[in-house]
Amino acid sequence: MFNRYSKGLVVFIFLAFFLFVSLFLVQQTQVFKQQAEGERAVNFEILPREEIKRIWPFFAQGGEEASLMLKPAENEIKQLSPQLIRIDHVFDFPDLDQRVEEIVALGAVPFLSLSYFPKFISVNPTDFPASLSDWQALVEKTIQRYSGKTEKNISGIYYEVWNEPDLFGKISPETYFSLYRSSVTAANNCTDCNLFKIGGPAITTLKPNSPWMTGFLNSVINSYLRLDFVSWHSYQKDPAKTVTEIESLKNLPLFKQLPPATEIIISEWGSVPEVSPLHDSYFDASHSVEAVSKIGDSLDKLFAFELVDGPSLKKKQFWGRWGLITNKAFGLVAKPRYYAFLYLNKLLAYRLTALSSSPDIGAIGSTDGKEAYTLIVSRGNDGDNSQPFQVKLNQPLAGKYQAKIYSLDSQHSPNEPSAVEAVYAKNSLPISFPSARNGVYLIELVRTSPALITVLGAAKLTSMVPPLAFAIKQTGGNLNSGEINFTFKNNWSQNDSAKHVLLETQDSQQNQFAAWVDRDDLGLNLHLNQTVLPIAWENESWHSLSFAFDNTKMTLTLKVDNREKQTTLSPATPITFGQILYIGGQANGENSAEGLIDNLNISLNNQIIYQKNFD
């Protein structure tokens, strides 16, 4: 029966729903307002993922000068730690040996673009000759010269057949294939050679279902021809378009027929292909970081074009060329993009997942798998020039942190860090700083202590603070053995009836490695999984504890002061670890150890992972 009470309930539900919707709309309005005002934010997940694939320490250099272009900038280039340096026009240089030697002197391996036709083959460098016999002999001689063990003896050289055949010479896929086949035949004739790779086609761009790439790959596959890498050039102002190019290649049915080891290489890469002021500006720096962040590990190598500017006919130092460094004739100056690569080189081994609030943000997070984090963020050209940027670590390990930030923008020196506040809050560690349009920011963050509270040189464990937490990054192989030991001072007596967890870790299958103290009718017991040792601890007494396992001997060993107990593990249930090891309580903060801890050591597979004292 619909009475007065029912009517009141309906009104109450309606008002509650109206209030909920109103609050939601207010929150959404605030979000839209923040986005419209250009507020920037990036959240990083704290647990390490796979190793970062370092696709960026590869560089290309044009052939604008007959004289050596890299040697004058040797000090600057070495700081970039280049792995491969690509040069084209290799058959135009009067002394190719010098060019190769200057690359090797920089600590890099040559990537030689076999181009163009010398005069004894063709009158015009890009006019296709009637016969390729001389070209084949030239390529064979070149590869033998630099990869041959009795000559220059360089291992790991990449040979790329031609440079932009669809532009220089307007070569068709069919004609280019004949050039490529001749080059591979020459390569296969190399005797007593170091390992090297050969590939192509180094076209100017890669469009979806590209007839050029499709035609070339079809010929390679039908001829069972060697193709160690597929290459092209990408100059896209929007990095998402470069990602689309990579995806379009991978989606080609013909590409899927290539051997899995075939590398994907963009052998020239930048923001725009033409001479532009962008190349001298912070835009190219932020563009590079955004591109690397969005491309991720979807290809093997990304060659930034170029290292050093060609000379200006108008004798200008900055004239919109692609170089990371200005030409020696007008003074060597590192441009903003140069520093972007220095920042990228500071990334640590393992990737962190990043979620950004805006599509024009580049964000790359990294960690050493333990307590150090390096984060790089960039922003595009939208928004206010002094909008705050917030970087946040989600679910960080509890503790005390120190952070410093390097700023690549017009208001800061890129090599001079400044301290920035990084204070742990429950489930979050936010870092805020001002940012400029097209700015790039490198944050180096270190956890200086896993303890939020220390007393008399020891970490204090209570229900009011999270337990000590340690990231456990297993880098492959089996977990054969491990030991966690520390000294512990309990803050409870023999009559205490609560459960006190000393350590805990749990893998994805809910398998635990845990130690705790509890009480039964006979008194206190210390547990390590199924191993139990009776104890009699007085209030505030120090004890030496060790918790060890050996999956090869199938043993579990518990030590308390001078006492030891060992049990046998079941072969079906070896000890495994989760991604985080908690000391002094459970992951949810319950069942605190309630005491002090010091002299903590964590070892896995006979390697010390962590050593902590809290003096």
Query: Residue 16 pLDDT > 70, yes or no?
Result: no
Segments making up each domain of the chain, as ranges:
39-51+349-449, 58-345, 454-612
Query: Residue 3 pLDDT > 80, yes or no?
Result: no
Q: What are the pLDDT digits (tens) for 514-545?
A: 999 999 888 899 999 999 999 988 888 899 99
What residues contact 572, with CB distance under 8 A and at least 6 apart?
none
Query: Residue 6 pLDDT > 70, yes or no?
Result: no
Task: Identify the pLDDT of residue 381.
Answer: 83
Instruction: State the SS3 of 251-297.
Output: CCHHHHCCCCCCEEEEEEEECCCCCCHHHHCHHHHHHHHHHHHHHCC
What percent of the residues of the chain are helix, what percent strand, and what percent coil, each to the nearest 5?
25, 35, 45
**In this structure, CATH architecture of domain 58-345:** Alpha-Beta Barrel (3.20)
Tell me the average pLDDT of the chain: 92
CB 77 within 8 Å of CB 106: yes
CB 156 within 8 Å of CB 146: no
If one looks up domain 39-51+349-449 in CATH, what number appears?
A: 2.60.40.1180
Q: Which helix (H) or strand (E) holds 4?
A: helix 4-36
Note the Cα 175 to chain centre separation in Å: 40
Task: Identify the pLDDT of residue 475.
Answer: 54
Q: What are the pLDDT digits (tens) for 333-384?
A: 999 999 999 999 999 999 999 988 788 899 999 999 999 999 999 998 877 7
Q: Which CATH class is domain 454-612?
A: mainly beta
- Measured CA angle at 252 (ends 251, 255), to 5 deg: 110
Average pLDDT of 147-165? 98
Q: What are the pLDDT digits (tens) for 448-484?
A: 999 999 999 999 999 999 999 999 986 556 899 999 9
Question: Could you give the percent of the chain with pLDDT greater than 90?
Answer: 83
40 or 125, greater pLDDT: 125
Q: What burial class does residue 591 get, using C-beta atoms within 10 Å of its C-beta: 0-12 exposed, 13-18 middle, 19+ buried?
A: buried
Nearest-angstrom CA–CA distance, 144 and 152:
9
CB 105 within 8 Å of CB 340: no
The model carries a pTM of 0.91
DSSP category for residue 506: E
Say if residue 116 is preceded by a cis peptide, omega within 30 of 0.
yes
* Cα Rg of the chain, angstroms: 31
Q: List, in sequence order, every residue forming a beta bridge with 548; answer none if it has no partner.
A: 483, 557
- Measured CA angle at 136 (ends 131, 139), to 5 deg: 140
Segment among 157-171, 372-386, 394-408, 503-517 with least mean pLDDT:
372-386
Q: What are the pLDDT digits (tens) for 383-399?
A: 777 778 999 999 999 99
Q: Which residue has the tokens 């002999």?
A: 137
Helices (H), 150-281: 173-188, 211-222, 239-250, 253-256
Nearest-angstrom CA–CA distance, 504 and 488:
16
